[in-house]
Structure 1
Amino acid sequence: MNHNDILRGVRYMLDLSEPQLAAIFDMGGMKVTLDKISLWLLKEDEEGFTPCPDLPMAHFLNGLVIYRRGRDDARPPQPLEPSVTNNIVLKKLRVAFELKEEDMHAVLKLADFEVSRPELSALFRKEGQKNYRACGDQLLRNFLRGLTQWVRTNPPAPVRHAEE
């Protein structure tokens, strides 16, 4: 799944403005202009569309965790992933929204996309481990769709971020 679709999906899910997205990038350690964000939010067939590279997406995902959960100064900063795969996006979303295994299954069920426990746990293993499974675009797309329903129907947890 391309990074632009993920940005648009998270923006829609949390009803974020472009300045709020810029603040999330900033929390993740990268200053991004509103003009650049506007280009990343365009669809592929729109004039001016610019693909969002891995590095900004890695910063955005780290910033999203901080935005949703607050900054933990006791922990060292998370290293950036050199290549942002669907598995990494799924892991960061799970952390940002504090989802347990049962929650993950419930989110996927909301999108009418069910996976077994072993299939789900295989998505969170390290690449190269014998039971590792790559997360496909369809699974991630359905997870984002289900997570949007989850976020919009469940009362929000207390927000611990101070910046917007």
Structure 2
Amino acid sequence: MNNNDRLIRLRYALNFTDTEMVDIFKLGGSEVTKEDVLLLLTKSNDEAEDELQLPCTNRMLDSFLNGLIVYKRGKQEPKPGQQPPNPASAAVTNESVNNILLKKMKIALALTSEDMLAILEKAGVSISKGELSAVLRKEGHKNYKPCLDRYARNFLKGLALTYRG
């Protein structure tokens, strides 16, 4: 599963319009046009169509997820004496992209661990609270566990079943 697939599934699950997608990218610090969004959301079935698709980089996906948090929860003002967070500081690697997706979706939608387990359960996946906790940990933590595509795909499927019915 690549970032374009993740973006397509997110858009479907949360029922965003093209204009909302552009706004969310803008909130996350990426300037994309409506045409760029359409190219990002184009599903390619063969190599000839790959030229018509704009690849979604890890940085773009991270920007979208950061924008989604602001879109859903509002901009967070730094506390007095605290420096504002640097959104570019978190480097998203291909190995950690699913972990970051789950973490940021949990924040954006204000989900509890029980909510996330219920969403996965709707998609037919049963994991323990400990396994979910390991996936949501910071990379480098002794209990960190990489999130496989299977879990991310089923989480997005469960999200679609939850929000779209």
Task: Flag whether TM exceeds 0.5 (same fold).
Answer: yes
Q: Which moved more, 1:143-152 or 1:20-29?
A: 143-152
Normalised by the length of structure 2, the TM-score is 0.86
**Displaced runs of 4 or more, over 3 A:** none
Equivalent in 120, 136, 139 of residue 148 of structure 2? 136
- Once structures 1 and 2 are overlaid, which stretch shifts more, 127-136 or 72-81? 72-81
Figure out how many residues of one structure are paired with residues of the other and give that number. 153
Q: CA deviation at 1:152?
A: 3.0
> Could you list the runs of 5+ residues in structure 2 that have no partner in the other structure?
none
Other-structure match for 1:41? 41
State whether residues 62 and 78 of structure 1, in contact with CA within 8 Å, keep that contact through their aligned partners in structure 2: no
Partner of residue 83, structure 1: 92
1:118-157 equivalence runs, <5 A? 118-153=130-165
After TM superposition, list the pairs within 5 Å mapping 1:20-39 onto structure 2.
20-39=20-39
Which residue pairs with 1:110 in the alignment? 122
Q: 1:50 aligns with which of 40, 47, 54?
A: 54
Superposition TM-score, scaled by structure 1 size? 0.86
Describe the superposition over 1:34-83 as per-residue Cα deviations: whole angstroms up to 9, x where unpaired. 22111110112262022201111111000001111111223634523322
Root-mean-square deviation (CA), in Å? Answer: 1.6
Deviation per CA, 1:102-160: give whole Å up to 9, x if none. 1111111110101011111100112122211100001000001111222235xxxxxxx
Matched, 1:100 2:112: yes
Bigger drift between 61-70 and 38-47 goes to 38-47
Q: How many angstroms apart in 1 are the aligned matches of 2:22 and 2:5?
A: 16
